[in-house]
Structure 1
Amino acid sequence: MNLLFVADPLDQFKTYKDSTYAMMREAASRGHRLAACEPRHLAWRSGGRVTALARELRLTGQVGDAGTPWYEAQPATPRALAEFDAVLMRKDPPFDGEYFYATHLLEQAEREGARVFNSPRSLRDHPEKLAVMEFAQFVTPTLVTRDAEDIRRFHAEHREIILKPLDGMGGMGIFRVGPDGLNLGSITETLNAHGQRTVMVQRFIPEIAAGDKRVLIIDGEPVPYVLARIPQGSEIRGNLAAGGKGVAQPLNERDREIATEIGRILAPRGLLLIGLDIIGDRVTEINVTSPTCFQEIQQQTGFDVAQVFVDALERVMNPTRDEPAPRVPDRPAKA
């Protein structure tokens, strides 16, 4: 297949942990051709098709974080997205205005015949904080509001709460307020801009001490290992970007039950890859823009998540082909 990755600048990749790089490496190992662009390189002109100023890539096999180039690229040329076999939207959040506009360009490319994963419309329809509303049975008590008095009443009911912006990522802008309500007013004003912005408030889940689990779902099926991101020191945030420690663990039965049900509903909407955030037995977020943790899981367990993802991509692109034999066992690697 000829694959186009729409992603962040390649020179910013941390290849030792980047999930998009893991996808590229696995796809290249099977003989698939790679190209890449950034969302800013997408364009459309009336009478024509959506194009990308794309560069064909060859992976060098080197880890680029020590200054060794991990790829070689041909000069960028404008190419119609419909000319690629598959387009993988892997731009990291935040889901800002430019990301929103990129999904519209990608959806137009779909109308022209492109195959885009994850579906641009589903990216818009499933914002990562608010997508949990469809699955309230799996969610801790949650409030979405602009109203400061609503937030005060929610705190009075639940006593210990978490407040977060709807457009945050990597743990940015998350606050914990304890039973004494200290600084609740100031935090609310900071997040809701005196009633101008909507925020999410959730009852605090003490099981965060054991980790904020990233559960991956590929083509509707949960990956058998999760990455528990464990807060360090005085932090309440387990996000790796906020200093959390990632520990891979087998998927437990409750998490499998939750992931299977959510995958059954969301995968048919064009969401080939989903990342659930689960604390205890409660879903806190549903990530669909650019789910990660492929390499951390593989490095600690031997389970090759990228292999499963590319298997799924090949299966979706060619549903009549025989199912490949698994190359990695569903068990931890031996020491």
Structure 2
Amino acid sequence: MMIGFFVNDIEREYENYTTTTLAHQAVSRGHRVCYITPSDFVLSPDDSLNVHGRFLPKRKYKSRLDFFETLKDDKACKIERVDMAGIDVLMLRNDPSIDAQNAPWAMDSGILFGREAARRGVIVLNDPDSLGRATNKLYFQSFPAEARAETLITKHASDIKAFAKDHGGNIILKPLQGSGGSGVFKVDPENQSNLNQMIEAIGRDGYIIAQAYVPAAKKGDIRLFMMNGAPLQIKGKFAALRRVAAKDDIRSNIHAGGKAEAVEVGDTELAVAELIRPKLVADGMFLVGVDIVGDKILEVNVFSPGNLESCSRLAGVDFSVPVLEAMERKVEIASQYKSAFDNRHLAIL
């Protein structure tokens, strides 16, 4: 099977990224892998869709580090133009918000060409039509209200101030678009004098999300992976970890200084997962990362959820294995039933 991994660019990939972990596992299982970036698609006059893929040498790799170093080596890798119809699975693993300012043309390229690839029989994960509706955090509002922290979205300072007053001055502010904890502020009674500056800082780039502060967030949030609409697990061990914010920082994102710790997934987290499961299934969201605090979800990352490698290390199992097994099963189903399922159904089967 041939798998294409769509990323923002090769330079921004790292050894422990989830994409690297999945690509290395794919190669270890005998599949051919190529990396694709926003500028690599070609729609030809004959309506064929091609791609200039970055292919790694077909050989055994001693480790994920060996695989990653080869990926970064321009001399070792080969750029090949291939018909997209020859790629079995296209996994969209880019973060559109990264390209929002410097390369806005690249933001939606994975979604746009992902739709074209799906039309030509490629299994595209996650479903590009649904990803098109999830390019900002407004998608979050489509999940059941009982699973979400109370949220206000506005550009008016008066609305935010009234919302803060209703919640005792304890709220979180963040931009409607963006990821990775960028532009996130915690408002409390002690720093309310800076509320105007916070609103101005976020509001320059668009709408503002004001979210009720969940006290359980002091202990950090839980990143839980869900696959095919269910919590990802191996023999009762869940692909999950607790992300604890660094001192003097409210953001628990690992790259923002947060610390990853092992965590037990209990009935509360499983109940939250069950609440959002129907929406993920309906949207063909194959692999997502859900951030949970108490009995509420704070984020649902449907584009490039990270920390799968950390979850594997903390649990002592390799969660990339069931992910690849699921992809292999989808390709087999597609070959047996031909056009019986559209991409959204295949994505979640």
Q: Tell me: CA distance 1:43–1:26, structure 2 relative to 1, closer, same or farther (3 Å).
A: same
Q: In structure 1, which of residues 169, 184, 189 is the aligned counterpart of residue 179 of structure 2?
A: 169
CA deviation after TM superposition for structure 1 residue 222, in Å? 0.3
8 Å contact 2:71–2:77 — kept in the other structure? no
Question: Is 2:191 aligned against 1:192?
Answer: no
2:219 counterpart residue number = 210
Greater helix fraction, Structure 1 or Structure 2: 2
- Counterparts of 1:225 and 1:114, CA distance in 2: 27
Q: In structure 2, which of residues 270, 274, 296 is the aligned counterpart of residue 260 of structure 1?
A: 274
8 Å contact 2:5–2:34 — kept in the other structure? yes
- Counterparts of 1:174 and 1:61, CA distance in 2: 40
Q: In structure 1, which of residues 96, 107, 120 is the aligned counterpart of residue 115 of structure 2?
A: 107
Q: In structure 1, which of residues 299, 302, 308 is the aligned counterpart of residue 313 of structure 2?
A: 299
The DSSP-based 3-state class of the residue aligned with 1:275 is strand
CA deviation after TM superposition for structure 1 residue 217, in Å? 0.4
Matching residue's letter, 1:204: Y
8 Å contact 1:106–1:120 — kept in the other structure? yes
CA deviation after TM superposition for structure 1 residue 70, in Å? 5.6
The DSSP-based 3-state class of the residue aligned with 2:262 is strand
1:31 counterpart residue number = 30
2:260 counterpart residue number = 246
Q: In structure 2, which of residues 323, 326, 332 is the aligned counterpart of residue 309 of structure 1?
A: 323
Q: Give unpaired runs (5+ residues) of structure 2.
A: 233-237, 336-349
The DSSP-based 3-state class of the residue aligned with 1:216 is strand
CA deviation after TM superposition for structure 1 residue 112, in Å? 2.2
Question: Which deviates further from its counterpart, 99-108 or 18-27?
Answer: 99-108
**1:110-159: per-residue Cα shift (whole Å, max 9, x none)?**
21222211111111112452222122111111101111111111011111
Q: Give unpaired runs (5+ residues) of structure 1.
A: 322-335
The DSSP-based 3-state class of the residue aligned with 2:97 is coil
Q: Tell me: CA distance 1:288–1:128, structure 2 relative to 1, closer, same or farther (3 Å).
A: farther
Question: Is 2:5 aligned against 1:5?
Answer: yes
Matching residue's letter, 1:232: A
Runs of 4 or more consecutive aligned structure 1 residues displaced over 6 Å after TM superposition: none
CA deviation after TM superposition for structure 1 residue 215, in Å? 1.0
- Counterparts of 1:315 and 1:2, CA distance in 2: 14
Q: Tell me: CA distance 1:62–1:312, structure 2 relative to 1, closer, same or farther (3 Å).
A: closer
Q: Tell me: CA distance 1:188–1:90, structure 2 relative to 1, closer, same or farther (3 Å).
A: same
The DSSP-based 3-state class of the residue aligned with 2:240 is strand
- Counterparts of 1:43 and 1:237, CA distance in 2: 39
Matching residue's letter, 1:80: D
Identity across the alignment (%): 29
Question: Which deviates further from its counterpart, 43-52 or 115-124?
Answer: 43-52
Matching residue's letter, 1:256: L
Q: In structure 2, which of residues 127, 132, 145 is the aligned counterpart of residue 124 of structure 1?
A: 132
Question: So what's the TM-score if we normalise by structure 2?
Answer: 0.84
Q: In structure 1, which of residues 89, 93, 96 is the aligned counterpart of residue 92 of structure 2?
A: 89
Q: Tell me: CA distance 1:42–1:70, structure 2 relative to 1, closer, same or farther (3 Å).
A: closer
> How many residue pairs align between the two structures?
318
1:333 counterpart residue number = none
8 Å contact 1:229–1:239 — kept in the other structure? yes
Q: Tell me: CA distance 1:232–1:74, structure 2 relative to 1, closer, same or farther (3 Å).
A: closer
2:347 counterpart residue number = none
2:155 counterpart residue number = 146
The DSSP-based 3-state class of the residue aligned with 1:182 is helix
CA RMSD of aligned residues (A): 2.3
Question: Is 2:66 aligned against 1:56?
Answer: no
